[in-house]
Amino acid sequence: MNIRVNDWISLKPEYLNHEHISGNKLRKLKYNLINAKAKGFKTLLTFGGAFSNHIAAVAAAGKEYGFGTIGIIRGEELHNEFTHNPTLSFASQYGMNLHYVSREAYRLKSSKEFVEALHQKFGEFYLLPEGGTNDLAVKGCEEILQKDDFSFNYICCPVGTGGTISGVINSSKAHQKVLGFPALKGDFLDNEIKKYTQKTNWELITNYHFGGYAKINEDLISFINWFKTTYNIPLDPIYTGKMMYGLFKMKELGYFTSEDKVLVIHTGGLQGIEGMNNKLKTKNLPLIL
């Protein structure tokens, strides 16, 4: 069921899909888990940074569906502080075997040599790419929109690797426009999305990334806190907060008419708030509620 936020926005609460496998990550994992089971894999291996929603989701999904999990984590220095990092300590508690690599090594993670070395070390595993995007992930995200959603003429979705929005675009109708809000800088995303969809009823809104992935400022924090106090809906600082901030700014700037009906996909990510607050504390910035 969508939540009516105000007279022009409704929200699809994907963040309520599962307690620990946040929103869109459950959608992205669904057919991968079915495929891994069917092929007899016992272990899932994937990659991510210290605050990654995907890492937390894979750890929780592995525990729930009976897979061992291995997380290749960017940044060797994290090895010593993982107990202070809420995402990594969660993953570890859920049984994920965390393996830290340098940023340089991490950059090569998709290379054949790197994956072969991982097989030497860990044996057989089902590989999920960073962020979890592949064909089966997109297929899972095609199930986000339901038939009641076709009355909206705009659909908004945050973008990281582009898998989620690709699924949403594939199941959208021609009279709908899908707006993607990238959480990071870079113009490679258009091409990523074009790998997974043939449709053209979409556009990326690229001016609300706040300087890059996991970068935030006081303006964004006060917006997230205002939104929570006003509508009683939590937003995460990395994806959904930036999207909603952008959307409200666009409304102010006259992007939408009074006829427009906007559906926002709340993709989850709330597990990242605690880690972000730890960071904000050290900078003496206000915390996220």
Ligand X SMILES: *Cc1c(COP(=O)(O)O)cnc(C)c1O
Q: Which residue is nearest to ligand X (CB)?
A: 269
Q: Whose Cβ is closer to ligand X: residue 87's or residue 161's?
A: 161
Q: Whose Cβ is closer to ligand X: residue 62's or residue 234's?
A: 234
**Cα(181)–Cα(198) distance, integer angstroms:** 19
Q: Which one, of 151, 157, 149, lies nearest residue 178 by Cα?
A: 157
Query: Which value, to the nearest 10 degrees, does the dihedral of the CA atoms of residues 32, 36, 42, 45 take?
Result: -40
**Cα(189)–Cα(206) distance, integer angstroms:** 10
Q: Whose Cβ is closer to ligand X: residue 77's or residue 203's?
A: 203
Q: Whose Cβ is closer to ligand X: residue 101's or residue 169's?
A: 169
Question: Closest approach of Cβ 173 to ligand X, in Å?
Answer: 21
Query: Where in 8-27 is the site for ligand X (CB under 6 A)?
Result: 22-25
Residues in Cβ contact with 165 at an 8 Å cutoff, skipping those fewer than 6 apart: 141, 157, 159, 178, 180, 193, 202
Stretch that binds ligand X, among 3-11, 33-41, 106-114, 264-272 (CB under 6 A): 264-272
User: In this chain, which of 32, 46, 53, 85 binds ligand X, going by CB under 6 A?
Assistant: 53
The answer to whether residue 163 forms part of the interface with ligand X (CB under 6 A) is yes
The answer to whether residue 241 forms part of the interface with ligand X (CB under 6 A) is no
The answer to whether residue 130 forms part of the interface with ligand X (CB under 6 A) is no
Tokens of 5: 């936020």
Q: Which one, of 195, 132, 128, lies nearest residue 160 by Cα?
A: 132
Q: Which one, of 178, 182, 216, lies nearest residue 197 by Cα?
A: 178
The answer to whether residue 239 forms part of the interface with ligand X (CB under 6 A) is yes
Q: Whose Cβ is closer to ligand X: residue 25's or residue 126's?
A: 25
Facing residues of 70 across strands? 45, 97
- Which residues make up the interface to ligand X (CB under 6 A)? 22-25, 53-54, 131, 133, 158-165, 236, 239-240, 267-269
